Amino acid sequence: MIDVSVIIASVESGRSIRRCIASVREALDQWDAEVIVVDASGDTSADIAERELGSAQVLRCTRGTLAPQLWAVGIARSKGRVIALTTGHFVVEPTWVASLAAALKEGQVGVAGRIDLARETSVTDWAVFYLRYSEFLNEPEEARRGVPGIPADNAAYDGEAIRRFVKTSDGGFWEVEFHRQLRAAGGSLAVVPGATARYGRSFPFSTIARHRFHHGRHSGAWRVSLGERSPAMIAVATPLVPLALALRVWRRVRLMPSHRGRFLRALPVFLPLATSWAIGEAVGAIGGAPASRRSSMAPA
């Protein structure tokens, strides 16, 4: 068994995957490690990754496969005591692996770092960033242990724990579900300094809108299955969800001048993406999640 496996989920990452891989390699200096890219793109992402890593470390999956499903393919293939996850749109800092692994060694089962926005980004990238990652903008001065959730896009986990979960899950690595199981079993999550990942050039709008819909659909079906909400409650709340999400982000960024301005400029894109999520959640609550696509996730 090796020290660390880094699984990079890649969806339309052609503009950023080379820099992502380079930053991960720098962070893995001095570690016995493997890097696995699991790609479901329509662009040249997989070709670029193969030139950087070799074809054996790049798994090609059906276009349209979601990031949690791509991570699951890589996790099942991994050999590391620690499994770190990210996507092809991120660049990590040199201390990324060391900071995450140190927290796991201290007894955490899952640990994450701060997520920031890279400079060379578009309004669409800003909208995606604020919709998904605004909760993790602030760098902690010291480790915050016992947090309820962490972003899998910039996280590391105990390898055996995460592989066990993936083996029993038909739908991929959905971190919210894993975190709930982990906490129920007495495990702990943390956010630590020194492990920042910066979100760079990412999806075309049509791609991220489609993915937000399918992520929302999974969430809606899962929440109903747990009895957290009824299908009717989720459906009735659908028109309010985009505004509620926008208000939540505004409360986080309103005292941060650079982020406040970018968020306001991104609102015309943010709200349609939030609406895609809300509609997907209602569809999932009423009709259930789509059938597992595990058969289509096998490497090509």
Give pLDDT tens digits for 227-249: 888 999 999 999 999 999 999 99
Q: How far is CA 136 from the centre of its chain?
A: 12
Same domain, 280 and 193: no
Under the phi-then-psi rule, with left for phi > 0, alpha for psi from -120 to 50, and beta for the rest, what region is 207?
A: alpha
The mean predicted confidence, pLDDT, of the chain is 93
Same domain, 20 and 106: yes
Same domain, 115 and 252: no
Q: Please, which residues have CB within 8 angstroms of residue 221's CB and are 6 or more apart in sequence?
A: 284, 285, 287, 288, 289
Other C-beta atoms within 10 Å of 142: how many?
7
Same domain, 34 and 170: yes
The structural domain count of the chain equals 2
Tell me if 59 is assigned to some domain. Answer: yes
Give the domain-ending residue among 203, 232, 253: 203
Q: Please, which residues have CB within 8 angstroms of residue 292's CB and are 6 or more apart in sequence?
A: 170, 171
How much is the pLDDT for 289? 80
Tell me if 246 is assigned to some domain. Answer: yes
Domain span at residue 22 reads 2-203
Predicted confidence band at 170 (pLDDT cuts at 50, 70, 90)?
Answer: low
Other C-beta atoms within 10 Å of 93: how many?
18
Give the domain-ending residue among 203, 226, 241: 203
What global pTM score does this model have? Answer: 0.93
Q: How far is CA 25 from the centre of its chain?
A: 19
Give pLDDT tens digits for 108-148: 999 999 999 998 899 999 999 999 999 999 988 899 999 99
**Can you give the CATH number for the domain in which 172 is found?**
3.90.550.10
How much is the pLDDT for 228? 83
Report the distance separating Cα 219 and Cα 7, nearest Å: 23
**Is pLDDT of 294 > 60?**
no
Give pLDDT tens digits for 197-219: 999 999 899 999 999 999 999 99
Same domain, 173 and 213: no
Same domain, 92 and 197: yes
